[in-house]
Every structure is written in C-alpha cells, then in structure tokens.
Structure 1
Amino acid sequence: MINSIVILGIQWGDEGKGKIVDLLSENSNYVVRYQGGNNAGHTLLVNKKKTVLHLIPSCVLHKDVIAVLGNGVVVSLTDLVNEIVSLKKKGIFIQNRLILSSSIPLIFEYHIKLDKARECNLLNKSVIGTTHKGIGPAYEDKISRRAIRINDLYYSDYFYKILKKNVKYYNFTLKNLYQTKTVDFKKIFNKTMIAFKKVKHMIQDVSCLLNNKIDKNKKIIFEGAQGSLLDIDHGTYPYVSSSNSSIGGVITGTGVGIKKIKYILGVSKTYCTRVGNGPFPTEIFDDMSKYLCKKGKEFGTTTGRKRRIGWLDLFLLKKMILINSLSGLCLTKMDVLDFLPEIKICIKYLDKNSNQEISSYPMTIQSWKNIIPVYKIFKGWNKSTRGITSFAELPIEAQHYINYIQSFLNISIDLISTGPNRHETIIISKFLKKFIK
C-alpha cells in the first residue's frame, strides 16, 4: 500500500499545489509542510468560498486531517497565531489539530526588517524580489548556528539571553549598514512569549511521530511550498528561495527517511509564471501576457504582485523531473488556455552566440542570458474545458497538447486541473483515485 506521497511544484511556485493537496487530503490522516515559511501562499476555492493560507498546510477544510509543520519550516509565531485566529473566524478550527516540530527555527522582527532593508536599498542593484517576510535572514541564522528554535522558548531565561544577543547583532547591522530603525528587545521578548503560550501544546517530535504513523499505514501527504526552480541548490540561483523546495527538503525538513516516500507528484501549470526577478527564458511581453495574467488571475497570493507570464518550458521541466525523481505529473490551469488560436511549448534552448543546441541546465546568470527558446506551436481549442472531469471529454486539440507533453517528458500525467474548485479535476492515475477513497 502506498500511503506516503509528496506534492511539490516544479516551476517557480504558484502552480496550484494548494488545490491539489486539498483534493487529495480529504481522506488522509496528516498533511506536512517541510520547508519555507509564510512567504508561501496557497488559495483554496470550495463552494465558492476562498480560503488563503500561508503557513498552515492545505488540509484545513477537512476537519479530521492533522496539519504538521516540520523542522524545515521557519515560523513567525505571531503570524502563525494570527492565521489560526483568522481561520477560526471563518469557522475553521485548527488549534487542536496542528502539530509543530520542536526544532522549528523562529522568525523575529529583526529578520523582517533586515529583509526589507536589503530589498529596498537603492544601492542594491540585484534585488531578488522577496516577499519581505524575513525568510532568508531566518535561514541564514539557521546556517550560522544563531537561530532561536521553538524548543528554546521552554527555557525563558535562556531565550532571554540569546534573544538579547541576537537583537544587539541585528540592531548594529540595521543602524550602521542600512541606516534604518532598530528593534526593541523587550517588545519582541514579551510578544514572543505570549504567542508561545498559545501554541505550546502543539509542539512534538515530528520525526518520531511521522515515521511511526507511516509504519502504521496512516495516509500522509508532504506539501511543498514555492517550486523546484526556486530551490536554493537547484533553482535559478541566486534568484531563488532560501530553502530546498525540491525533494531533498522533504527528508531534511521532517526527518522521514527517503525509503518511506512512496510516490512523488510534480505540479506544473500549462504555462509558466514567476514572481520577482530572475531568469525566465519563455517570458511573454505582448498582449498575450496581459490576457493570460487576467484570465489566470496571476497575482501573488502573499504579495499581490502581478506575476510574469511565459509559455510552458519542457526543457526546465525535464530537469525538475530528473532531480525530484517524480512518479507522475499534475497539470493545472488547463482552462486558462481555452479559446487561444495557438499555444506554444518550449522544447529546447539554443545558444545565441553559437546557435548550437544547449544540452545542460544553465547554472550561472551569464549562461541564462545566452538562451534562445525554441517553440513547438499547437493549434488551440475553441471550447471551454472548465470543470471537465474526464480526459475523453477534453477537446481533441487539448488531448493532443497533453499527450505531447507526456510523451516528450516520458512521464505519466496523473492529474489535470480544469478549474480552481476542488472537483474541477481530471484524475487519471488509478493509484490517486484509490488514495482519495
């Protein structure tokens, strides 16, 4: 029995993972976030009601499913408490079915201030385009062995001491390097302890919990945030997130061994989007970009920023399929392509200097600049696919488009999303049909 699956994005995030997790988690026992922070934004649309999540996994609408935040997630306790309260106001009660790893590193006000100072500094010509949530600086503290983890808060005297040391370090940096306002140590301490009391009962050893539950055949979904092209190691560096948003993040971010991961579903839009700066070989700059942006409602869930739009890039997907050892693929936003006269797919790159085909994944900013995308053009379909739940009911042109992607990438397309609502989905994989039941 396959009882543990991973759902992760294989573009630059915003692929629609939240809807897929919500759909597949209906009869699951646990849904686990393993990296990122509240820079993620998952939107769920059920019965015309929209629920937006940032930290809490996308299973909250199923009252019997337990949500888990692993040690690979960085957490602002105040933002977490605010999200719990916000859900409660909507009649969604999560406080007794949310588990936090005892090793979670915390985000503080000084992380957020530093993040904003870096991005807004007029002298910085190479801004990444972060969400200003303090995620990067929090991960920096983790690597520098300066992080304050949630289990440190059990010992208030110790927490007081190390927080004071960190505030002193960050205030010096904020004042002298960025000429910006500093933070108040006592306010941070008091605010954090108040929030800690509200979540203290949720803290557990997540690694032991999950390994034990997998051994007992409980159904577990590992939910990715961001996308693999934003992975700190394998993404379009340096325009990436600060964590491993590819498959490796599951293992290090939860403490669950690799042999216990049985199925990995990669999620991709039928086109591409990206928020922030960085390479984007298939980006569109004409009226088609405006059309797809409007129809696909391509605005960042966390930031509200307009997303950059481009055609589907199979060269990049091949690389992401390889590094993530994907079992199957999910295509989302099929309906956004409805009524287009033609649709493009990038099938290879050429070097603009030599006009030779590029065989290896570009790893430097300079190498990305030398890319010319080569497209295959498909005839569009003059029919709505919105809400279709059977592959056979799709227009023949849409079937041809999907079959080509499947053949080119040499991977099965197991799910197709035909709209934002939970059940506007074509489930092809027999395994996934069984997993839901």
Structure 2
Amino acid sequence: MTNVVVIGSQWGDEGKGKIVDWLSERADVVVRFQGGHNAGHTLVIDGVSYKLSLLPSGVVREGKFSLIGNGVVFDPHAFVAELERLAEKGVTVGPDRLRIAENTALILSVHRELDGIREDAASNSGTKIGTTRRGIGPAYEDKVGRRAIRAMDLKNMETLPAKVDRLLTHHNALRRGLGYEEVAHETLMDELQSVAETIVPYIDRVWKILDDYRRRGARILFEGAQGTLLDIDHGTYPFVTSSNTTAGQAATGSGIGPGSVGYVLGITKAYTTRVGEGPFPTEQDNDIGQFLGERGYEFGTVTGRKRRCGWFDAVLVRQAVAINGITGIALTKLDVLDGLDEIRICVGYKLDGEEIDYLPASQGAQARVEAIYETVEGWKATTAGARTWNDLPAQAVKYVRHIEELIGAPVALLSTSPERDDTILVTDPFHD
C-alpha cells in the first residue's frame, strides 16, 4: 500500500489544501508533520469555504482520522479558535477524529511577542524576514534549546512550574536585553492552565497510532505546509520558515520510518508566487504580475498579505524535484493563464555573466541571479473547470507537457479551479 507525502515545490501557496482534501477521500489518515499556524489552506467543498491553518485538511471529511505530528509547533489558543470556527460551520472535531503528538512543542504568548519584537527591530534596520509574527521561529528555537513546553507537560501540573521557570529564565533575559518587561511565572502558568482541559483529551502517542495504521495496511496522507524554497536548510535562507518543509521531514515529524513513505506529490503552481521578503528571480512587478495576482486571487490564507507574482520558474521546481524525490506533481491554477497571448518560462539563470541551472545557496548570489526566459504561445480558450485532457486547449496541453520536460517529473493531477472536482487525474498517488 502506497502512503503519500504532499509538499509544496515552490514558496508555498501552491494550492495544497484542495489537493490534500481531494486525496483525503482515498486516505484513512491525514497527518500534519511540520510548521505551525503560520501557513494556511483554503478548501472549497460544495460551495463552502474552509480556511485551515493548524488542523490537517482531513478534518472536514467524515470518517477520516487526523493527526498533528511532533514536527509541528502547536499554538493551543489558535487550535481552540480554529475548532470554534469549524463548529460554526457544522464541523465538530473531537478526540475521536483528531490526536496531537504528546511530544509536540507548544507556541506560547512569549513566542508571539518575541517574534513581533524582532520583526519590528528588523524593519528599522532593513533586515526584516517577513514572518507572520505568530511565534513559529521562537518556538522552534526553544525546542532545539531543550527548554520547550510540550503537549505532554499539560498532563502534569506538578512538574510544569519548574519547566516554566526554565523557559522564562531564557526569555526574560532576552526581554531585559531588548528593553521589555519580564513575564511573570504566574502569567504563563495561567495561560497554560486555561487551555489544558481542552487540549489534554487530544494528546496521544502519534507514532504508535501511525504504526498501528501502517500494520493494518491503511492509506496515510502526510500534509506539509509552506514550500520547498522556504525550507530552513534548502530554501532561500535567511528568508525562510523555521522548519524543514521537504518530504524527508514527513518521517521525522510524525514518527514513522522513511521506508513507509511511498509517493511524493509536489504541488506546483502554473506560475510562481511568494509572500514576504527575499529573492524572486521571475517576479513581475508590472501589469503581468498584477494580472496574475488579481486573476489568481493571490492573498495569504492566514495573513491576507498580497503575494508577489511572476512567471513559472522551472529551475526552482527542478531543484525541488531533486531535493524531495518528487514522484509526480499536481499542477494548479492553470486557468489563471487563460487568455494570455504569450507565456514566459524561466529555463535557466545568469549569474555574473555565467549561465547556471540551479539556485545558488548564497544570499548574495540569489539576489544577483537573472532569469533566462523561453516564450511560448498562450491560449484563448478557457481551461477553468476542465476535468479531462480533451477539455483543455491544445496549447495549454503543450504548456503542461513542456513543464514536465523542464522539471523532470510527470503531472499526476491537474487542477483547473478551486473546486475539488475540477481536477484531471493522470496517476492516482494512492495506487495499489
């Protein structure tokens, strides 16, 4: 039985939510394995829109079990708020449908505040990263620093005070140095106690649950957040997120052996976008960029920030295919390109006068690369809502096939609108 990992192959915002939801009908279990509530998915089901940021996309599907793995940093207050928003739309998510890994590190108010303090300071110095100010980075820092409060700690209020003291020893020293008031021990304890009763019933050994499902031959879907170019190791550092967003993290971030991960599906937008600061070789700060942004409704699910838009960058996606071991891609938002007379594709870079076929790791070099474009003919007929290859204009099919050649990976699914059924299936990642 093949288990599937879904990851973004660009800078995130590729449309993973719809694809994960589409695949979840074929899955028994859906797992979030990294990131936090700093990235979101928008699902449109029967005309109803669901915006998720922390919960796995499978929670809106009856009969599916969802898991939040240890690779996630977990904001308990954001979790409660998201449960309430879903309940208002008639979706109740109890412990019978969702479990949280006991060894998941928590995001607390001190993390959110520190994130904002740093971003404000960076804005003044011109070194802003463009974080969502939701405490993701500081929470991962505490995890690596071995001082994090983890979900399991909410079960034992007797040992929690000492762990809070250890955490605040670090944070209060930082706050004093930055000119901010210290956080009182009682304040943080009250914060944790206020959510413990709600969170504790969801806490479990996710690794054990996954192993049981695997042994029974269940289909497991691993859902990543953000995209490959935001990976802390392989992305456009330092303008990246604080976790590993690549396919290898699915095993580490959930507690399952890498041999249990079968198909890697890379979600790939038919053009390129990114949110926040950092290099973007194919960015179009012009009428084309505005056209793509307006037609594609390019605004962040979580923050509402306007996304930067540009032409498809085959160099970046080809690199993502190699790093993730991508088996096939799900190409999304092809319909946004409808009506263009011509479309450009980045097929290489020029760096200091030399042609290269990769994105260099150096921040300075990334800022200097220039895109080398190939121009292809556009199409006038619409692709929106197409559900078979025969529904697509011939030139749109040529565009898709050319992308496959350039990135070295086949198209497994093709999405032609936000509606889940507007999907052309070429290869079912959950093949037996």
Same fold (TM over 0.5): yes
Report the 3-state secondary structure (helix = DSSP H, G, I; strand = E; otherwise coil) of the residue aligned with 1:357.
Answer: strand
Report the 3-state secondary structure (helix = DSSP H, G, I; strand = E; otherwise coil) of the residue aligned with 1:350.
Answer: strand
Report the 3-state secondary structure (helix = DSSP H, G, I; strand = E; otherwise coil) of the residue aligned with 1:416.
Answer: strand
Report the 3-state secondary structure (helix = DSSP H, G, I; strand = E; otherwise coil) of the residue aligned with 1:345.
Answer: strand
- Hey, what's the Cα distance between the residues in 1 that align with 2:9 and 2:357? 19
| Equivalent in the alignment of 1:361 | 359
Q: Is the 8 A contact 2:33 2:68 kept in 1?
A: yes
More off after superposition, 44-53 vs 160-169: 160-169
Tell whether 2:289 aligns with 1:289: yes
| Equivalent in the alignment of 1:299 | 299
- Alpha-carbon deviations, 1:327-386, whole Å to 9, x = none? 1011100111111111111001112x2x22114430011111221111111111101111
Report the 3-state secondary structure (helix = DSSP H, G, I; strand = E; otherwise coil) of the residue aligned with 1:59.
Answer: helix
| Equivalent in the alignment of 1:98 | 98
- Hey, what's the Cα distance between the residues in 2 that align with 1:395 and 1:338? 10
How many residue pairs end up in the alignment? 430
- Hey, what's the Cα distance between the residues in 2 that align with 1:375 and 1:299? 26
- Hey, what's the Cα distance between the residues in 2 that align with 1:428 and 1:304? 33
| Structural RMSD (CA) | 1.4
How far the C-alpha of 1:50 sits from its partner, in A, is 0.8
- Hey, what's the Cα distance between the residues in 2 that align with 1:226 and 1:397? 30
- Hey, what's the Cα distance between the residues in 2 that align with 1:389 and 1:124? 50
- Hey, what's the Cα distance between the residues in 1 that align with 2:398 and 2:356? 26
* Matched letter for residue 162 of structure 2: K
| Equivalent in the alignment of 2:130 | 129
How far the C-alpha of 1:190 sits from its partner, in A, is 1.9
Report the 3-state secondary structure (helix = DSSP H, G, I; strand = E; otherwise coil) of the residue aligned with 1:196.
Answer: helix
Q: Is the 8 A contact 2:206 2:254 kept in 1?
A: yes
- Hey, what's the Cα distance between the residues in 1 that align with 2:64 and 2:127? 42
How far the C-alpha of 1:432 sits from its partner, in A, is 3.8
| Equivalent in the alignment of 1:65 | 64
Tell whether 2:234 aligns with 1:234: yes
How far the C-alpha of 1:184 sits from its partner, in A, is 4.2
* Matched letter for residue 334 of structure 1: L
- Alpha-carbon deviations, 1:31-57, whole Å to 9, x = none? 000000000110001122110001001
Normalising to structure 1: TM-score of the pair? Answer: 0.96
- Hey, what's the Cα distance between the residues in 1 that align with 2:132 and 2:367? 25
* Matched letter for residue 234 of structure 1: H
Structure 1 unaligned spans of 5+: none
Structure 2 unaligned spans of 5+: none
1:251-266 alignment, distance < 5 Å = 251-266=251-266
- Hey, what's the Cα distance between the residues in 1 that align with 2:373 and 2:363? 22
More off after superposition, 118-127 vs 49-58: 118-127
How far the C-alpha of 1:78 sits from its partner, in A, is 1.2
- Hey, what's the Cα distance between the residues in 2 that align with 1:208 and 1:124? 47
Report the 3-state secondary structure (helix = DSSP H, G, I; strand = E; otherwise coil) of the residue aligned with 1:384.
Answer: coil
* Matched letter for residue 268 of structure 2: S
- Hey, what's the Cα distance between the residues in 1 that align with 2:57 and 2:201? 21
* Matched letter for residue 215 of structure 1: R
- Hey, what's the Cα distance between the residues in 1 that align with 2:181 and 2:125? 18
How far the C-alpha of 1:181 sits from its partner, in A, is 4.8
Q: Is the 8 A contact 1:105 1:150 kept in 2?
A: yes
Q: Is the 8 A contact 1:9 1:15 kept in 2?
A: yes
1:90-239 alignment, distance < 5 Å = 90-95=89-94, 96-121=96-121, 122-177=123-178, 179-239=179-239
Q: Is the 8 A contact 1:427 1:433 kept in 2?
A: no
Q: Is the 8 A contact 1:33 1:69 kept in 2?
A: yes
| Equivalent in the alignment of 2:417 | 419
- Alpha-carbon deviations, 1:60-99, whole Å to 9, x = none? 2211101100000000111111111111111101123111
How far the C-alpha of 1:204 sits from its partner, in A, is 1.3
| Same amino acid, percent of matched pairs | 40
* Matched letter for residue 371 of structure 1: V
| Equivalent in the alignment of 2:51 | 52
Q: Is the 8 A contact 1:118 1:124 kept in 2?
A: no
- Hey, what's the Cα distance between the residues in 2 that align with 1:196 and 1:245? 29
1:294-333 alignment, distance < 5 Å = 294-333=294-333
- Alpha-carbon deviations, 1:290-328, whole Å to 9, x = none? 111111110111111110111110011111000101110
More off after superposition, 180-189 vs 338-347: 180-189
Q: Is the 8 A contact 2:321 2:408 kept in 1?
A: no
Report the 3-state secondary structure (helix = DSSP H, G, I; strand = E; otherwise coil) of the residue aligned with 1:131.
Answer: coil
1:349-428 alignment, distance < 5 Å = 349-351=349-351, 353=352, 355-428=353-426
Tell whether 2:32 aligns with 1:33: yes
